[in-house]
Chains A and B, each alone.
Chain A
Amino acid sequence: MPKPLNWTRRAVLRLAWGGIIAASALTIEPLVKYLTSKEDRLGSPLVEYSKPLNVNSDWQTTAKERVWVKEDSLGVMAIVATCTHLGCEVHYYPEKKEWLCPCHASIYDIEGRPISGPAPKALPRVAVERKPDGTLIINTSKQVEMGTRL
């Protein structure tokens, strides 16, 4: 004979308390992650890049703040790979010499000028400076004209 269950109101409420405490414990980890997130901290607009650049090399990524750099016979330039349509990160395809936005298929030519898709403007060029030791300092908060070189 199984023992008859004795579910009094008091027993059910006690069980409910346990459930509430258990559910509360489950929120601790998400709360800690949420409160300790540094994702919205304002980064410095300055990006350093110390690898060597060859004249007439193709675009090289600095892997920071979406900045890419390139050197031609006139000097060094930097571009920010953020689509001028809705701000997705665009990717450079060296074999096609084109920038492609994965979100709405905007295509830019090698200089970052839009050639198809919804993008209204060219990819932004930003100011480049060189420290005495040769490290490039790219200031992403300072936009420059497309022809500007260091």
Chain B
Amino acid sequence: MKDQKNFVNHIRPGFVPSGALSVLYTFCLGGLSFLAFMVLAVTGLLLMFHYQPGESTGYNSILTIASVIPYGGVIRNLHYWAGQLMVVTVNLHMLRVVWTRSYKPPKQLNWLVGVALLILILFLDFTGYLLIGSQESGAAATVAVNILDLIPGLGAGLAQALFGAPSALSGSTLVVYVWHCVALPMVALLLQLYHFWRIRRDGGVRPL
């Protein structure tokens, strides 16, 4: 088991427990989530070349990407649907972990990392929705800011730090853009790599 604590050997393991090869044990839900994350990273990077955050520029640039820029519609739809898929697979992944009691020791730390990842993914999903810049996103941003404002003392500052100052007509702000495109994905990626490494560290996937 010594070589399994090395990250390089994690990518190209010397051996894999035969039980870990069963698809029906995990349904590959974590792997599917990571695949969706990779698709989101690539398509998201491409969208950044043409997207401009801002109250009216956000929505207008989405319209331009979706209807004028060559292949922009494909890239935007890949990003959108991979995002929807990831939220579904991440939740199913969590259900599977509960079902097989995989949160129990020695995997309790990895369960907590997974919970943190779930929160990050949901916030990525929400900020992506705000960046569409539609009136619906403006309403969603307003609700989020108003809820945060209820926290005594910290609320207003927290709302500014997380969402900037979205208007009621568009949730697209520079602050949301930076969280969605840079800060959250980087933290999520680092946590995911740790999450994967931790699986083998804790003894790998084993049949019930």
Q: Cβ of B50 and Cβ of A33 under 8 Å apart?
A: no
Q: Which residues of B contact A40 (CB under 8 A)?
A: 50, 52, 61, 64-65, 68-69
What CA separation (Å) do A67 and B64 show in the bound complex? Answer: 20
Verify if B117 is at the interface (C-beta below 8 Å from A). no
Q: Cβ of A37 and Cβ of B61 under 8 Å apart?
A: no
Chain A 39-94 residues near chain B, CB threshold 8 A = 39-40
Contact of A33 among B49, B52, B65, B71 (CB under 8 A): B71
Q: Cβ of A39 and Cβ of B49 under 8 Å apart?
A: no
Contact size class for A?
A: under 10
Q: Which residues of B contact A35 (CB under 8 A)?
A: 46, 49
Q: How many residues of B contact A (CB 8 A)?
A: 14
Q: Mark B166-190, 1 if CB is under 8 A from A, else 0.
A: 0000000000000000000000000
Known A39-B69, A40-B69; contact A34-B64, beta-carbon cutoff 8 A:
no
What CA separation (Å) do A31 and B70 show in the bound complex? Answer: 9
Q: Can you name 4 extra interface pairs (CB under 8 A) apart from A40-B50, A40-B52? A: A33-B71, A34-B71, A39-B68, A40-B69
20 A-B contacts (beta carbon < 8 Å): A30-B70, A30-B74, A31-B46, A33-B70, A34-B49, A34-B69, A34-B71, A34-B72, A34-B75, A37-B68, A37-B69, A37-B72, A39-B64, A39-B68, A40-B50, A40-B52, A40-B61, A40-B65, A40-B68, A40-B69
Q: Which residues of B contact A (CB under 8 A)?
A: 46, 49-50, 52, 61, 64-65, 68-72, 74-75
